[in-house]
């Protein structure tokens, strides 16, 4: 499997949302399929937000492409809302993936947004610790906000949350969040960012510029292996060379 080195991420640029979602689905299937070929189970940490919706729908449309019953699902972060709320990251995955793929309920590791945030973080940290005792996450998929945040880790002067999961405050609604920490997110065999839209171009350019990447929170997630960035043309607009596929 190709991957960029930790200090030189691999970047692939796609013309639009469909080709981006197709490439992302391929990445997910290869990473998880490869893991299932080697072990009895595979683990995937997935993001919320709007960008991954098309990816999830595409995966749901080809259920035979993977033995989904052996996949463990975790979330990068959650908004502190009820699971039925349209703002819930769990709800996005429930409606697009869980409703359509044969995922095993006991392998779906939901972050409990309806609980007091510190309690939800404590419970999730224990669940993630148990998973990481078995080995790194096979795939961590992350989005990027226009301000450079990823998961619910926001840029700024505050301390970097430690442990494996933390209750945090976002600078915009929904403010109360629980997020995996950089240490947890970095514990992976494969790290992929999926980013689309012109409003992300400046954050992407900073994240991929060695002189500026410390300004975006993605810099705090130091993976063991390389990082792959899957971008649409608009999110890549601030990059100097054309890398479109």
Q: Judged by CB under 6 A, which of 9, 113, 117, 143 binds ligand 6PG?
A: 143
Which residue lies nearer to ligand 6PG by CB, 125 or 168?
A: 168
From CA 236, how far away is CA 1, in angstroms rounded?
23
> What's the closest the beta carbon of residue 217 comes to ligand 6PG, in angstroms?
9
> What's the closest the beta carbon of residue 184 comes to ligand 6PG, in angstroms?
14
Q: What share of the chain is helix, strand, coil (3-state, %, to 5)?
A: 35, 20, 45
Q: Judged by CB under 6 A, which of 150, 181, 187, 188 binds ligand 6PG?
A: 150
- Backbone CA torsion sign across 149, 225, 104, 19: positive
Q: Which stretch binds ligand 6PG (CB under 6 A): 41-49, 100-108, 125-133, 207-215?
A: 41-49
> What's the closest the beta carbon of residue 76 comes to ligand 6PG, in angstroms?
5
Neighbouring-strand partners of residue 12: 230
Which residue lies nearer to ligand 6PG by CB, 59 or 144?
A: 144
Q: Judged by CB under 6 A, which of 43, 51, 88, 218 binds ligand 6PG?
A: 51
> Which has the closest alpha carbon to 228: 185, 190, 181, 180?
190
Interaction with ligand 6PG in 156-185: which residues (CB under 6 A)?
none
Cβ–Cβ contacts within 10 Å for residue 137, how many?
A: 26
Interaction with ligand 6PG in 75-134: which residues (CB under 6 A)?
76-77, 79, 89
Q: Which stretch binds ligand 6PG (CB under 6 A): 9-17, 66-74, 139-147, 216-224?
A: 139-147
- Kindly write out the interface string for residues 59-78 of this chain, putting x where it contacts ligand 6PG by CB under 6 A and - elsewhere: -----------------xx-
Which residue lies nearer to ligand 6PG by CB, 150 or 188?
A: 150
From CA 103, how far away is CA 72, in angstroms rounded?
8
From CA 232, how far away is CA 176, in angstroms rounded?
29
Q: At a CB cut-off of 8 Å and minimum separation 6, what does 11 contact? A: 4, 208, 228, 229, 231, 236, 239, 243
The torsion angles phi and psi of 168, rounded to 5 degrees, stand at -135, 165
- Residues binding ligand 6PG (CB under 6 A): 47-51, 76-77, 79, 89, 143-145, 149-151
């Amino acid at each position: 499997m190709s991957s960029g080195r930790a200090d030189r991420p691999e970047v692939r640029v796609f013309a639009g949302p469909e080709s981006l979602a197709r490439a992302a689905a391929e990445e997910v299937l290869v990473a998880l399929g490869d893991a299932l070929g080697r072990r009895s189970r595979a683990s995937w940490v997935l993001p919320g937000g709007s960008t991954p919706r098309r990816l999830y729908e595409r995966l749901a449309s080809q259920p035979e492409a993977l033995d989904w019953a052996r996949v463990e699902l975790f979330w990068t972060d959650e908004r502190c809302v009820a699971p039925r709320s349209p703002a819930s990251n769990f709800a996005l995955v429930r409606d697009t993936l869980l409703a359509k793929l044969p995922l095993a309920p006991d392998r779906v590791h939901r972050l409990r947004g309806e609980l007091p945030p510190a309690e939800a973080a404590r419970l999730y940290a224990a669940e993630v610790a148990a998973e990481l005792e078995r080995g790194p996450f096979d795939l961590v998929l992350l989005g990027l906000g226009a301000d450079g945040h990823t998961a619910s880790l926001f840029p700024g002067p505050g301390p970097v949350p430690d442990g494996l999961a933390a209750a945090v405050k976002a600078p915009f609604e929904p403010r109360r969040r629980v997020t995996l920490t950089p240490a947890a997110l970095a514990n992976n065999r494969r790290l992929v960012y999926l980013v689309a839209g012109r409003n992300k171009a400046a954050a992407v350019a900073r994240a991929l510029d060695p002189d500026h990447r410390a300004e975006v929170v993605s810099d705090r997630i130091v993976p063991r292996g390389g990082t792959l960035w899957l971008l649409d043309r608009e999110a890549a607009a601030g990059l100097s060379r054309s890398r479109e596929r």
